[in-house]
Structure 1
Amino acid sequence: MIWISWRQFRAQALVGVIALALLAAYLVATGLEIRDSHDAYLARCHGSGDCADAMSRFLDDYRTRLLFLAALLALVPALLGMFWGAPLVAREFESGTHRLVWNQSVTRTRWLAVKLLFVGLAAMAVSGLASAALTWAASPFDEVAGDRFGTVVFGARNITPIAYAAAALALGAVVGQLVRRTVVAMAVTMLAFVILQFAVPNLVRPHLMAPGHTALPMTAEAFNQAQGLGSLGNAPVVRGLSIPDSWITETSELLTSDGRPLDAEVFDDCLMRAPKTGATGRYGDTAPCLAAHDLHVDIAYQPNDRYWAFQWIETAIYAGLSGLLAGFALWRIRRQVS
C-alpha cells in the first residue's frame, strides 16, 4: 500500500519539494539580509543614541515583505488540502478505479488509512519546514516588533502550520469522499478552509484563555498613536491601540470618567469642528479636543508571554479536528456503496 500510495503521489510530491526548496532558498537569503540590516541599525543607534527611531526604520524596511510572506505561507495548508487532500479519494471515484481497489485483499479502511497517513505526513512536513524557515528568517524582526499574535503572523510561525496542514488534508479527503468530483472537491476544500482560517483567529483565538483587563487613559498622545477614529456609523470608538508586550483582543467605546459612553455628538464635533490649537500629530486638533473630556477605554488583552500556550492550544484544536475528520472518512468508507 505504501508503494502504491507513493506511485500515485510522486508527481505532487515532486512539485512540493521543488516549491519548498525555492521558498527555503529565498527565506534563507531574506533572513541573512534581515540580520545584516538589524546589526547595521543597532550600530547606528548606539552611535546616535536614538535606538527607537532606528528600530522603527528597521521595522518599516521589512514589514510589508514579511507580511506578504506570512500571508503566502498561511495559504500553504489550504493549497495542500486543495491539491493533495481533495483528489485523494475524489479522483478514485471519478475515474472508477475505486471498484478495482476495493476488490483486492487490502480492505478499503486500510487503503484509505495508509493514503491519509502517507500524504498527511508529507503535507505536515512541507508546512512545518516552510514555517520553520520563515520563523528563522523573521526572528530579528519579530523580536523588535513584539507583535506575536497578529492574525496572519501567528498562523505562519512555529508549530501551528503543521496542524493546519493536517486538518486541511483531512478536510480535503472528506470533501472529496462526499462530492466525488475532483475539481468541485478542490474548490469546496479551499473555500471551507479559508473560512475556517478566518473564523478561528477572530472568533475563537481571543477566547482560548481568559484575558486580562485594564483601563487606558486617552490622552492626546494616546489618540495620536491610534490607527483610526470612528466607524462607519460614526460611533465614538478608537481603533488600533497598543499596550506594551500584549495583544489587545477587545476595546470598548470611548468612555467618560464616570464610565458612560461618550456622546456621539461630542465625538463628531471634535472630529469635524475641533477648536484650532495648532496641535501636531496624526489627528491634529482632534486629539486634544477629545482628550479634554477625560476619556478612557476598557481593554481586554493577552500578554505576549502566553504566546506558546496559544500555539499549543490551537495546534491541539486543529490536530483534534484532523483526527475527527479522518475518523469520519474511515467510518464512511466502510459504508460507502461502490
Structure 2
Amino acid sequence: MSWRQFRAQALVAAAGLVVIAAGLVVLGMDIRDTYDTYLARCQGDCADAMSQFTNEYRNLLLFLDAGFILVPGLLGMFWGAPLVARELETGTHRLVWNQSVPRRRWLAVKLLFAGLAGMTATGLVSLLLTWAAGPVDQVANDRFETLVFSARHVAPVAYAAFAVVLGTVIGLLIRRTLPAMALTLLVFIAVQIAMPNLVRPYLMPPITTSKPMTSEAINELRSLGGLSDRPTIGGLTIPDAWVTDTSELLTADGQPLDADKFNKCIGPDASDDSPREGGGRFGAAAQCLGDLDLHVTASYQPNHRYWLFQWLESAIYLTLSTLLAVLGRWRIQHRL
C-alpha cells in the first residue's frame, strides 16, 4: 500500500535524478578538463592560474549548492507533509486505521518508506555534486563555507531524513495538506539558517589566536567598518581554517581602538574596491591603521575537523528526526 501511494512521486524523483545526474557528470568532466588546462598553462607559481580556475566556476557552483540545499526541504514539503495530512483531510484514515495494521505501525512503515527514499535521492545527488565540484573545492580549500558544507558528503542525507519526518509531523498536527506543506518548507529553511550561524560554529571548542593587523594584513581583508562606528573588520582569513569570530581592532594593550581614530584613518570611502594612495585594496587607510600597532583576536576551526563536524551535524539532525517521529507516534495513538 505504501508503494502504491508513493510510486508516482518515486517515478517523478527518479526521472529528475536522471536529468540531474547527467548534468552533474557533464559539469564534472568539464571542470576536470579546465583544471588540467590551467595546470598545464602555469609555470612555477600556479597561484594565479588556480585563482582564475576557481573564479570561473565559483558562481555556478554556489548557485547549484544553494539550489541543492532546498532539495531536502522540497522532499519534506511534497513527500512528508501530505503523508498523514492527506488521509486526515479526506477522511480515509477512518478506513485505514480500522484494518488489521495498528496505526503506529502504519505510521512507522510510511515514515521509513518516504524517509529512506528521500535520504537515498539526496545522497545520490550529494555524491554527484561532491564529485563534480571536487577539483574546485580542493583548490579553494573552503570546505566550511556555509553553502559548500551543507551541500557535500553526508550532511545532506541527514537533512533529508529530518525534512521528511518534520513534514509528516506537521501534517499530523495541523491536519491540512497545503498549510502543512508551506509550514514545512518555512520551518526547514529557518533551521537551515540557524544551524550554520548559531550551532555549527560551537559544535567543538574553537581555537583562539591573536593576529597582528599590519598594513599588508589589512589589505587582505574584505571590509573595514560596518553599519556602526565601531572599529570592526570583515573577511579575515587563516590558512586551512574556518574563522568563526573576530574581535574589534585592538590596541597593543588589548583595548578596543578608539572609534574616532578608526574613522579618521578609513575616511568616508575606505570600503571602495578601487586602490588608493599607499597601494593595496585600502591604500592609505591600511597604512594609517598599520602604523597604530593593532591586532585582533580570532576564533577558528581548523579544516582537519571537517569530517567530525559533518558527522556531528548529521547526528543532530537524525536525533531531531527521531524525537519528531516519537512525537508523531504518540500523537497518532492518543490524540486522533
Which ranges of 4 or more aligned residues in structure 1 deviate by more than 6 Å? 273-277
* Whole-angstrom distance in 2 between the partners of 1:215 and 1:290: 17
CA 231–274 in structure 1, closer or farther in 2 if over 3 Å, else same:
closer
**Which has the larger displacement, 67-76 or 10-19?**
10-19
* Aligned pairs for 1:1-338 within 5 A: 4-46=1-43, 49-272=44-267, 278-337=277-336
CA 181–189 in structure 1, closer or farther in 2 if over 3 Å, else same:
same
Secondary structure, counterpart of 1:148 in structure 2: coil
Q: CA deviation at 1:14?
A: 1.3
**Per-residue CA distance 1:34-68 (angstroms, 9 max, x = gap):** 1111111111113xx23010001001101101111
Q: CA deviation at 1:123?
A: 0.2
CA 41–105 in structure 1, closer or farther in 2 if over 3 Å, else same:
same
One-letter amino acid of the structure 2 residue matched with residue 192 of structure 1? V
Q: CA deviation at 1:278?
A: 2.5
Secondary structure, counterpart of 2:42 in structure 1: helix
CA 328–274 in structure 1, closer or farther in 2 if over 3 Å, else same:
closer
One-letter amino acid of the structure 1 residue matched with residue 21 of structure 2? A
One-letter amino acid of the structure 2 residue matched with residue 5 of structure 1? S
**Per-residue CA distance 1:193-223 (angstroms, 9 max, x = gap):** 1000110110000000011111111111111
One-letter amino acid of the structure 2 residue matched with residue 98 of structure 1? H
* Whole-angstrom distance in 2 between the partners of 1:233 and 1:214: 25
Contact 1:163 1:315 in 2 (8 A): yes
CA 116–277 in structure 1, closer or farther in 2 if over 3 Å, else same:
closer
* Whole-angstrom distance in 2 between the partners of 1:303 and 1:129: 28
Secondary structure, counterpart of 2:55 in structure 1: helix
* Whole-angstrom distance in 2 between the partners of 1:15 and 1:237: 50
What is the percent sequence identity of the aligned residues? 60
Contact 1:59 1:141 in 2 (8 A): yes
Contact 1:5 1:115 in 2 (8 A): yes
One-letter amino acid of the structure 1 residue matched with residue 315 of structure 2? A
Q: CA deviation at 1:21?
A: 1.3
Q: CA deviation at 1:309?
A: 0.4
**Which has the larger displacement, 91-100 or 15-24?**
15-24
Contact 2:276 2:282 in 1 (8 A): no
* Whole-angstrom distance in 1 between the partners of 2:268 and 2:106: 71
* Whole-angstrom distance in 2 between the partners of 1:9 and 1:169: 13
One-letter amino acid of the structure 1 residue matched with residue 246 of structure 2? T
Secondary structure, counterpart of 1:301 in structure 2: strand
Structure 2 stretches of 5 or more lacking a match?
A: none
Contact 1:274 1:285 in 2 (8 A): no
Q: CA deviation at 1:250?
A: 0.4
Count of aligned pairs: 332
Contact 1:274 1:286 in 2 (8 A): no
* Whole-angstrom distance in 2 between the partners of 1:68 and 1:277: 33
* Whole-angstrom distance in 2 between the partners of 1:63 and 1:277: 28
Secondary structure, counterpart of 1:323 in structure 2: helix
**Per-residue CA distance 1:247-277 (angstroms, 9 max, x = gap):** 0000000001110001111111111179998
Contact 2:277 2:284 in 1 (8 A): yes
Secondary structure, counterpart of 1:285 in structure 2: helix
Q: CA deviation at 1:245?
A: 0.2
One-letter amino acid of the structure 2 residue matched with residue 172 of structure 1? G
